Amino acid sequence: MELAVALCTAALLLDGCTLPNIKDVDTSKVQSDCVRQCTASYSGCVSTVREHVVFQACHDAYQVCVNTCPTK
């Protein structure tokens, strides 16, 4: 498992790929309490994974969560 993480990290550095980032999700128009709940769920999701595909799933779930938040 550690080897896989090291290889993935090396591949990301060499290839210039980046992991999904929640900063690209626009949260400016929704209620901040809801965004905090989505962020907590996202943090729990990514803290348990090490694979890029699962990181993407966590990102997608975060985006869906934010999209369901009430507007300001």
Domains of the chain by residue range: 20-72
Q: How far is CA 5 from CA 10, 64, 66, 70, in A?
A: 9, 27, 29, 38
Please give the DSSP secondary-structure letter assigned to residue 19: -
Least confidently predicted of 16-20, 24-28, 31-35, 45-49: 16-20
Query: pLDDT tens digits for 18-32?
Result: 667 888 899 999 999
Residue 50 and residue 9 in contact, taking contact as beta carbons nearer than 8 Å: no
pLDDT at 16: 45
> Looking at the predicted structure, is the pLDDT value of residue 60 above 80?
yes
pTM of the shown model: 0.70
Handedness of CA 21, 24, 30, 32 (dihedral sign): positive
Residue 62 and residue 30 in contact, taking contact as beta carbons nearer than 8 Å: no
Other Cβ atoms within 10 Å of 59 Cβ, number = 19
